[in-house]
Structures are given as C-alpha cells and as structure tokens.
A = this chain, B = another copy of it.
C-alpha cells in the first residue's frame, strides 16, 4: 500500500505539509512585504485551476492550467508544490460554505432533520462541481487528496451534525461519519440522474441509522 513507488505522480501519495497556503499574516516580522505579482499569479492560478478541475476533473493537466493562467509551469509548482496542494487550495473556499451551512442548520432544525438537510446540500454541491465529486472518488488523488479536500471543515461539520443526532438518541452510528459522504460520493460516478439516486440513498442511510 505505502510502497507504491511506480506512481507517475510522484507527490500524490504524500500528505501535504502543514498549510503553506493560508497567507495568515501572523507577524513573521523580519521579512519584507510579499511581492504583488506573486499574489496576483496565485489568484490567477486558483481561478484557472478551479475552472479546469470543474470541467475536466481532478486530473486536468497542470501544464495547461499554467498556460491558461499565463504563467510558467515553474510558477505553478512554486505556489502549489503538489497537485494535492492545488486541489486543496481550490476547494478550501468552496467547502467552507458547507461548514457554514452546517452551523446554520444546527440552529434551525432538529438533529436528524438537520443532518438529512445537510446531506442533501452536499449532493447539490457535488452536482454543481463535477471536479468536486471526482475528488471524492478519485483514485489518482487517493486518500491524500480526499483528506486535503476535506480539511476545510467538512469533517468537523458532519461530525457535529451526527454527534448531535446521536446524542439526541434518535440514531446510532459506529463509523467515521465522513464515510457517509464517501458512500454518497460513490454513486456520483454513475451516469446522469445520479443526484436522485444520491438523495434516495440518503433516506436509506438515515433510516438505517435510526435506533
């Protein structure tokens, strides 16, 4: 499992180092002000990458992304040393909305209904972002990419929802709740109409978790 050295994407199976991405001006006092062109290029790359992943899935060509963004391939790699880093950066913003929605649903809905509602939102979300769905089922990206894409509050969001529902005594769940998302994303590889299937699956899952 770990020894897969023949992988053509050298960095894919490595976990990303801690967060080079968030700018977070935590007073690193000594240094000079960051260059303006660097940040500009970073944003251009993110924009282009988002579009590319959206329409070609997570294995879109990085060279092409750089070309379309009008920067050299070296610049892309400087900003995002691995494909995972780029994917993570792209979807970080995106998935934050899901996390926010979770907080809102918790305040306005009873436990199980909130959970169900959020899962439905998750399906909608996968629907609007083809690349996103692919990331979840990705083989190329594997676990690393999955975790990366999730590290924006999604695990916490669903954990919050399921914990509350469990605490209310209405459901029981003896597995990592993120696997519910994996299961849902699993049907996203089906053809058109998968969203209906996904929604039915949600109801099955919730019914199956009820005590």
Contact = CB atoms under 8 A, between A and B. Distances in A.
Interface of A: 1, 4, 6-8, 56-61, 64, 134, 136-140, 142-143, 146, 174-176, 178-179, 182-187, 189-192, 196-197, 200-201, 203-210
Among A174, A187, A189, A206, which residue has the most Cβ atoms of chain B within 10 A? A189
A191 B2 CA distance: 11
B201 A204 contact: no
A121 to B, nearest CB: 18
A134 B205 CA distance: 23
Contacts of A191: 143
B200 A204 contact: no
A187 B179 contact: yes
17 contacts: A6-B61, A6-B64, A7-B56, A139-B189, A175-B201, A176-B190, A179-B187, A179-B197, A183-B186, A183-B201, A203-B208, A204-B208, A205-B208, A206-B208, A207-B208, A207-B209, A208-B209
A4 B57 CA distance: 10
A204 B189 CA distance: 21
B143 A139 contact: no
Contacts of A136: 186, 189
Q: Interface SS of chain A: helix, strand, loop or mixed?
A: helix
Copies of this protein in the assembly total: 2
A209 B205 CA distance: 9
A190 B6 CA distance: 21
A4 B205 CA distance: 33
Among A57, A139, A143, which residue has the most Cβ atoms of chain B within 10 A? A139
Nearest to A138: B139
Contacts of A184: 183, 186
Contacts of A56: 4, 6-7
B182 A190 contact: yes
A136 B182 CA distance: 13
Closest 9 CB pairs of A and B: A186-B186, A208-B208, A204-B208, A207-B208, A183-B183, A137-B137, A182-B186, A182-B187, A134-B139
